[in-house]
């Protein structure tokens, strides 16, 4: 689905150059749920932003479902992003002035989905994330966990091929974190490809593969064995 071929991304400041992604090669297959771990500043968010085409690369090859992204214009990248990718952020990023259902409906407007179909799709995801009873509320009236579920609903309402999540449980307590992680796992089991950045090693067990970064490079790349995890790690890591 996604291939990085020796990609690099640097940020040039007044005096220093920071190499956020250092000559990285990586393949992500459809249906994977990849967790990305690593210390602060190792390039996790940069990698996710590059994947989501919110940021560009300095060099290397990047292909996404058959498109050579490194050769696309800004406009083509924006179109690919709109058509195929859903984002979930640590700070939810909901629009304060819009109700829950309006927030979720917004991406469907951008996709020019007709009104009746918009309503049907919004109803469906509202049920999916168990927030239908709060549909007329403004985000400020919701708990953190509820806000993140709305953000997930907004990310999935367009049925994207790829869901990107940057520390989706970073602002949540453990109970809400588990609920959000369970939801992501379900979406993955239903076929969504997910790439998630996390600071919580115990959340790795919800995914299928774990990538550990250090200084913009891949330090470790391992698959998560659900069976073995069920036996030992789940107990330790997931309670
Ligand atoms: N827009 C930017 N301008 C300059 N430097 C940047 C920019 N974005 C990221 N960096 C630098 O690139 C490196 C990687 O940053 P990144 O945000 O990807 O780290 P991270 O692994 O997500 O960290 P954290 O866990 O703290 O979120 C850091 O050294 C950071 O200071
Ligand atoms: Mg980050």
29-62 pLDDT, tens digit per residue, is 999 999 999 999 999 999 999 999 999 999 999 9
Q: What is the pLDDT of residue 232?
A: 53
Residue with tokens 């290397």: 60
Ligand with an atom nearest the CA of residue 22: 1
Answer yes or no: are the C-beta atoms of 201 and 224 closer than 8 Å. no
Q: How far is the CA of 93 from the centre of ligand 1 (A)?
A: 19
Only one residue has tokens 């995801």, namely: 125
Q: What is the pLDDT of residue 239?
A: 47
Q: Is the CB of 11 under 6 A from ligand 1?
A: yes
The length of the chain in residues reads: 239
Closest protein CA for atom 29 of ligand 1: 41
Place of tokens 């309006």: 102
Helices 115-128 and 100-110, packing angle to 10 deg:
130
Instruction: Give pLDDT, residue 234.
Output: 52
Q: What per-residue confidence (pLDDT) applies to 114?
A: 97
Instruction: Determine the atom of ligand 1 nearest the C-alpha atom of 13.
Output: 4
Cβ(44) – ligand 1 distance below 6 Å: yes
Q: Is 151 in the pocket of ligand 1 (CB under 6 A)?
A: no
CA of 44 to the centre of ligand 2 (A): 6
Reported as a pLDDT band with limits 50, 70 and 90, residue 15 is confident
* Distance between CA atoms of residues 82 and 161, nearest Å: 11
Q: How confident is the model at residue 69 (pLDDT cuts 50, 70, 90)?
A: very high
Structural domains of the chain, count = 1
Indicate the helix (H) or strand (E) that contains 31: none
Among the atoms of ligand 1, which is closest to the Cα of residue 21? Answer: 14
Q: How confident is the model over 88-107, as pLDDT tens digits? A: 999 999 999 999 999 999 99
CATH number at 232 reads: 3.40.50.300
Beta strand spans in the chain (E):
2-12, 17-28, 33-37, 59-64, 67-68, 85-89, 162-166, 193-197, 209-214, 217-223
Q: Which domain holds residue 64?
A: 2-238
pLDDT at residue 20, as a whole number: 97
The string of pLDDT tens digits covering residues 132-183 is 999 999 999 999 999 999 999 999 999 999 999 999 999 999 999 999 999 9
Question: How, if at all, do strands 33-37 and 209-214 pair?
Answer: parallel
Mean of all residue pLDDT scores within the chain? 93
Residue of the CA atom closest to atom 26 of ligand 1: 40
User: What pLDDT was estimated at residue 183?
Assistant: 94
């Amino acid at each position: 689905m996604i291939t990085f071929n020796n990609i690099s991304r640097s940020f040039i400041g007044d005096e220093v150059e920071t190499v956020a992604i250092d000559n990285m090669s990586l393949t992500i297959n459809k249906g994977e749920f990849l967790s990305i771990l690593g210390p602060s500043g190792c390039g996790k968010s940069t990698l996710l932003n590059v994947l989501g085409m919110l940021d560009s690369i300095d060099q290397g090859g990047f292909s996404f479902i058959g498109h050579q992204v490194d050769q696309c214009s800004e406009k083509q990248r924006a179109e690919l992003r709109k058509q195929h990718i859903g984002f979930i952020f640590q700070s939810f990023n909901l629009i304060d002035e819009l109700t829950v259902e309006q927030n979720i409906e917004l991406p469907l407007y951008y996709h020019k989905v007709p009104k009746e179909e918009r309503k049907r799709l919004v109803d469906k995801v509202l049920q999916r994330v168990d927030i239908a009873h709060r549909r007329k509320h403004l985000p400020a009236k919701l708990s953190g966990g509820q806000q993140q579920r709305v953000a997930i609903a907004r990310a999935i309402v367009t049925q994207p091929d790829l869901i990107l999540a940057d520390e989706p449980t970073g602002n949540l307590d453990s109970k809400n974190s588990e609920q959000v992680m369970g939801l992501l796992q379900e979406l993955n089991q239903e076929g969504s490809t997910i790439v998630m950045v996390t600071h919580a090693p115990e959340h790795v067990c919800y995914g299928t593969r774990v990538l550990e970064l250090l200084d913009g490079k891949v330090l470790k790349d391992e698959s998560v064995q659900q069976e073995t995890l069920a036996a030992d790690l789940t107990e330790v890591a997931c309670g």
